Structure 1
Amino acid sequence: MKKVSKSVFYTSVIISLLFIVWGTVAPKNVAAVTGDIQEFLQVKFGWFYLLAATAFLIFVLMLVFTRYGNIRLGKDDEKPEYGFITWFAMLFSAGMGIGLVFWGVAEPLTHFTSPPIGEGGTRQAAENAMKYSLFHWGLHPWAIYTLIALALAYFKFRKGAPGLISATFTPLLGDRVNGPIGKTIDILAVFATVFGVATSLGLGAAQITGGLSIVSPAIDNTFTTQLIVIAVVTVLFTFSAISGLDRGIRILSNVNITLATALMLFLLFAGPTMFIMNSFVTTIGAYLQDLPERSLHITPFPKSQEAAWTQSWTIFYWAWWIAWAPFVGTFIARVSRGRTVREFILGVLAVPTLFSALWFAVFGGSGLYADMFNDLGISKIVTDQGPEFALFKLLESVPLGMVLTVLAILLISTFFITSADSATFVLGMQTTNGSLNPANSVKLLWGAIVAGSAAVLLASGGLQGLQTASIIAAFPFTFILIGVAVSLFKAFRAENPAPRRSRVKTG
């Protein structure tokens, strides 16, 4: 491990292990302390998360329409390292896989029965539920990922800087990025990555266990079973991580997108197709129409239904995406060499957002249709048993339901593995001075730490414990993202203007 950045590596590892020990010895104390911190940040700084996420979206969209969009993430004559389909599959699998599968049915149904304003269970509540879900999974999260990934790719591939988040501050800090300030930035990035990914892995373990309990009633949906799932998947993603980016992660990413698309298309044509497609079109229109108002909406009236909903959903999501940013951003940057800034921004923003809209239309729309017209009561199952059962209860109601349930469990597992092995790769980069090929021993250690953190968070508070970790980890990293935006813009201004295309004279 001669390439290890000792101060970043050892400090991060020691604090992470101390957290795991604390959670193992005193899970209730972990839940109490982190819960108090989470409540303080959500209530006092919810507006800050909202403003920051919206500012990041405006910033990256602005770059598309400037001359900076012509800058290539690499040398001027470089071509993209990966084809578009493989590129999209890799960034999508790393960026949202488990979360979309977990919440695809459950979130719209939850908003349908418990909307922020108005009465639940109505047609208007159903339309709003789809709009709210897309808002949480649309342009804002991908703008956050775009910002950090764009900065990392630009400084790494065009300027030859280390693949570290601290290196993106060079225009602002100069040589101080190599000192204590830079090391602190990298350590905060490591913690945001660990807890952001652990949140998703916890969700994945809970849903896999829920699905297995449906396939085989002999399997109990308990914390012990979740631990076994985490242990088994840890072995699998560790093997994938060791096999490298061009083998394990790339192959699994393509498997993920194939399985996800196949499941989505089957449900689209086996389910209420007309209702789904109408919902898809209507939701996109409502989303775009309400995007400016919803982006800055946080009620000033405390202890109201709307305030509680905003804190539990929008603020949590923005914090979760920010906590995921160093992980997803580093990974997207790694696979985006050779693309122009404009191509990069439009690709990372538009394609996943449209895919998310279709995903929610198919899964969320099918769930709403089943509840509103077939009286299946899936929303009641979400309330009584948990959101991890929503997908499987929906699949039970369509042809080949058991086959689809097994396919869904396989999909969640491959998303689990892809997210986790991508995380070990990124954490390895962050703690080995930005090495594009971190040692297997480093990746193995971080894989164990991420898995241990997910287990501790599940033990100390279940879903609420996972949400708490994301919100806490995201707060300091939000300030780093603001600095990244300022530094990137300063670097772009120093670039020579892109040459204008020569005009062909006629006549």
Structure 2
Amino acid sequence: MTDHPSPSTPGGATETREDGRRPERAGERVRRAIRTATTEPAFGIHPGLVPGISVEDTGVRFRTRRSVFVVALLVALAVLVWAIAAPTNLNDVGTSMQSWVVARFGWLFNGTVVAIVIFMLVVGFGPTGRIRLGADDSTPEYSTASWISMLFAAGLGIALIFYGPLEPLSHFLTPPPWTDAQGGTPEAILPSMASSFLHQATFAWCIYALVGGALAYASFRRGRLPLISSLFEPVFADGNHRVLGKVIDIFAVLVTLFGTATSLGIGALQIRTGTSIVTGQELGTPFVVVTISVLTVVFTFSAVAGIKKGIRLMSNANMTLVVVLAVFALLAGPTFFLLDLFPASLIAFAGNLPDMLAVFAGQGAEQQEYLTAWTTLYWAWWISWSPFVGMFIAKISKGRSLRQFVAVVVFVPSAISLAWFTIFGGTAIRMSLDGVGLGVEGAGENVMFDVLGNLPLSPVMWVLCLVAIVIFFVTAADSASNVMGSMSQSGRPVPSRSVTIVWGVALGLLGLFLLLAGGQNALSGLQAIMVTTALPFTVILIGIMVAWALDLRHDPMMIRRRYALAAIRQGVRRGIDEHGDDFVFDIAQVEGDEGAGAGFESDDPALTQWYTDSALREVEEELPDSVAGRQTDG
């Protein structure tokens, strides 16, 4: 998973957009809205007319949250010391914890992921789809092409290269328990592809869209800090400063750390294997130490020095490399087999989805082993990446409608992943059917290089693949360091150098010493701990859905929709009663109990307080003393 630097910076509203228009200066829209309403008590802003406010317009100060930073760092150091002192114990305890979580809470992971998929489709394609991630008159800061390009980069990562051929091949050789197909036979092809689609190419982006959409909505429309705890404002006010809110943000940092460290761990294994194949020399632990050390210095320096143009260029270069690899494998491999496999796999995925999800209901040893090694591990992995990827998606999606946001974020990266897994997974399966011996060594880091080795121009493709992995390593770690630093400093768009350095070094050391102390055992132990850590964050995701639903229900646009529906119903009834067939709509004042808003408490502070509080931080000194004083006292 790679990332771009944050496109939204403090004061960014003064920059010229790609369409040539100059946005309003920070606060202009807010000031204008409040000035027009200062003649009425409590500002007189009807909740249905609130235009929305971005956190950039509030003048908020992004303070370092010492409790979040210190506690998360201490937990990370404890795991690091554990890996150094007792790697075998780490693996044993982690594996036991993972088995316990899967056996007792596998249903929770599965149910939550399914609920998220349904929730996001309703949010995007229901009445709320017209709501903008910003003010009513806001426009996207990036063209649609640029936005999709950045999502394309975010949807690719080390895991995509690692598991692209490995997972379909693994399921082909050892079919999942929901099918009766025999391993290594043509009947096992579609079940293997359907399982890979489920784990890698579909539901993950619904999870990312939930966190990214909720953060964008809270930050750009409700004026809140871009933190996970801010999303719970409708449930418990001032959550950023409550103990529970801090606990939520600590877990957000930790799941990001463990999820990224796991990805970097498998990246380091692939770099070692790829370099061994390219150079023809057997490389061991010293090479891993040097590689991770050098790359840690590179991505930490990049993160603190703000070499964002270089990271952006590397991300774009990586997109090119990935496209080249995919097109080459499609044309040089079993082209017609892959073209037939893609639609057949999609149909198999849709048809077998209930059976794949029903595996969680099984209590047999085979089902539990499969869930531990595959499905639950992936759900936990994607959940652990959701704060990281979600924050990135939120930063580039300002001004988009929820309908456009869900349609693009959920379906475009998923389509890219579907094509990738079809090409490389299908090629690996076809090679296996043709008698090419594709073995799985270690964690499976060899499979991609073995697949490319059986295609033309393999030395060139090996080098391109190795370069792509290295770039993914650097860009992902650079971005994760910045995101963890941002979450430690109240969502600051550009975290301080000291905090970024700490998280960059912690990330590099965690991956290095886990591999140095215990090799694959330590890495599997970290994966197990990641699953366990993701369990409480799964509960947090459920809370995000509840809190965001409450926010959306009272959104100004939904309030206007409620008024419109009521006005139409009453207007039609009254028109027919008074004029028969011959009437049109007009606006006229009626008695209070007959209006469109009858029964609706528009002066409820819960509907306006979020706006006036955040807006006052920016404009209080420009308001009349009587008004400013009344709001401050209230």
Q: Same fold by TM-score, threshold 0.5 exceeded?
A: yes
Match of 1:318 in 2: 379
In the alignment, which of 247, 251, 257 is matched to residue 188 of structure 1?
251
Residues 1:264 and 2:360 are matched in the alignment: no
Closer, same or farther in 2 for the Cα pair 1:85/1:405, shift >3 Å?
Answer: farther
Match of 2:432 in 1: 371
Aligned amino acid, residue 476 of structure 1: P
Aligned amino acid, residue 446 of structure 1: W
Match of 1:430 in 2: 487
Match of 2:227 in 1: 164
Match of 1:38 in 2: 98
In the alignment, which of 50, 75, 93 is matched to residue 15 of structure 1?
75
Q: Deviations over 1:442-464 (max 9, x none)?
A: 21211111112223443442542
Partners of 1:78 and 1:338 within 8 A in 2: yes
Residues 1:328 and 2:385 are matched in the alignment: no
Q: 2 CA distance for matches of 1:245 and 1:487?
A: 37
Q: 2 CA distance for matches of 1:463 and 1:26?
A: 13
Q: 1 CA distance for matches of 2:357 and 2:213?
A: 22
* Partner-residue secondary structure (3-state), 2:436: coil
Partners of 2:176 and 2:191 within 8 A in 1: no
Match of 1:153 in 2: 216
Partners of 1:90 and 1:250 within 8 A in 2: no
Match of 2:503 in 1: 446
Match of 1:487 in 2: 547
Q: 1 CA distance for matches of 2:175 and 2:120?
A: 31
Higher Rg of the two aligned structures: 2
Tell me the CA shift for residue 385 of structure 1. 4.7
Tell me the CA shift for residue 12 of structure 1. 1.5
Match of 1:361 in 2: 422
Residues 1:398 and 2:458 are matched in the alignment: no
Q: 1 CA distance for matches of 2:128 and 2:305?
A: 37
Partners of 1:215 and 1:406 within 8 A in 2: yes
* Partner-residue secondary structure (3-state), 1:127: helix
Q: 2 CA distance for matches of 1:95 and 1:324?
A: 12
Partners of 1:199 and 1:469 within 8 A in 2: no
Q: Deviations over 1:344-371 (max 9, x none)?
A: 1111110111111110111111111111
Q: Deviations over 1:170-202 (max 9, x none)?
A: 011112431211111111111111001111111
Match of 1:178 in 2: 241
Q: 1 CA distance for matches of 2:492 and 2:248?
A: 17
Residues 1:102 and 2:162 are matched in the alignment: yes
Q: 2 CA distance for matches of 1:33 and 1:16?
A: 16
Aligned amino acid, residue 270 of structure 1: A
Match of 1:64 in 2: 124
Q: Deviations over 1:1-38 (max 9, x none)?
A: 99311111122122212221222222222222222211
Residues 1:338 and 2:338 are matched in the alignment: no
Closer, same or farther in 2 for the Cα pair 1:37/1:310, shift >3 Å?
Answer: closer
If asked which structure has higher relative contact order (CA below 8 Å, sep 6+), I would say: 1
* Partner-residue secondary structure (3-state), 1:115: coil
Q: Deviations over 1:19-72 (max 9, x none)?
A: 212222222222222222112111221111111111111110111221211111
Match of 2:613 in 1: none
Match of 2:56 in 1: none
Closer, same or farther in 2 for the Cα pair 1:36/1:301, shift >3 Å?
Answer: closer
Tell me the CA shift for residue 124 of structure 1. 1.2
Match of 1:87 in 2: 147
Match of 2:533 in 1: 473
Residues 1:290 and 2:352 are matched in the alignment: yes
Q: 2 CA distance for matches of 1:317 and 1:424?
A: 22
Closer, same or farther in 2 for the Cα pair 1:237/1:37, shift >3 Å?
Answer: same
Summarize the alignment of residues 73-84 of structure 1 with structure 2, pairs less than 5 Å apart.
73-84=133-144
Q: 1 CA distance for matches of 2:240 and 2:63?
A: 18
Residues 1:139 and 2:196 are matched in the alignment: no
Q: 1 CA distance for matches of 2:230 and 2:239?
A: 10
Q: 2 CA distance for matches of 1:134 and 1:199?
A: 21
Aligned amino acid, residue 209 of structure 1: R
Tell me the CA shift for residue 337 of structure 1. 1.6
* Partner-residue secondary structure (3-state), 1:478: helix
The alignment's TM-score, normalised by the length of structure 2, stands at: 0.75
Q: 2 CA distance for matches of 1:455 and 1:294?
A: 36
Aligned amino acid, residue 30 of structure 1: L
Structure 2: where are the runs of 5+ without partners? 1-60, 565-583, 585-634
Tell me the percent identity: 40
The farther-off stretch of 258-267 and 463-472 is 463-472
* Partner-residue secondary structure (3-state), 2:360: coil
Match of 2:260 in 1: 197
Q: 2 CA distance for matches of 1:58 and 1:296?
A: 17
Partners of 1:86 and 1:254 within 8 A in 2: no
Match of 2:569 in 1: none
Match of 1:6 in 2: 66
Tell me the CA shift for residue 85 of structure 1. 4.2
* Partner-residue secondary structure (3-state), 1:173: coil
Aligned amino acid, residue 136 of structure 1: H
Partners of 1:93 and 1:415 within 8 A in 2: no
Partners of 1:298 and 1:310 within 8 A in 2: yes
Aligned amino acid, residue 318 of structure 2: N
Aligned amino acid, residue 184 of structure 2: G
The farther-off stretch of 485-494 and 469-478 is 469-478
Q: 1 CA distance for matches of 2:371 and 2:152?
A: 26
Q: 2 CA distance for matches of 1:246 and 1:385?
A: 35
Q: 2 CA distance for matches of 1:360 and 1:353?
A: 11
Aligned amino acid, residue 29 of structure 1: N
Partners of 1:54 and 1:296 within 8 A in 2: no
Q: 1 CA distance for matches of 2:492 and 2:512?
A: 28
In the alignment, which of 458, 468, 474 is matched to residue 417 of structure 1?
474
Q: How many pairs does the alignment contain?
A: 496
Partners of 1:95 and 1:328 within 8 A in 2: no
Q: 1 CA distance for matches of 2:211 and 2:119?
A: 12
Q: 1 CA distance for matches of 2:74 and 2:465?
A: 37
The farther-off stretch of 286-295 and 416-425 is 286-295
Aligned amino acid, residue 304 of structure 2: I
Tell me the CA shift for residue 95 of structure 1. 4.5
Aligned amino acid, residue 158 of structure 1: R
Closer, same or farther in 2 for the Cα pair 1:246/1:70, shift >3 Å?
Answer: farther
Q: Pick the structure with more helix per residue.
A: 1
Closer, same or farther in 2 for the Cα pair 1:64/1:299, shift >3 Å?
Answer: same
Partners of 2:84 and 2:514 within 8 A in 1: no
Match of 1:129 in 2: 192
Tell me the CA shift for residue 228 of structure 1. 2.2
Q: 2 CA distance for matches of 1:325 and 1:197?
A: 11
* Partner-residue secondary structure (3-state), 2:302: helix
Q: Deviations over 1:240-291 (max 9, x none)?
A: 3235485244333222211111110111111111111111111112112223
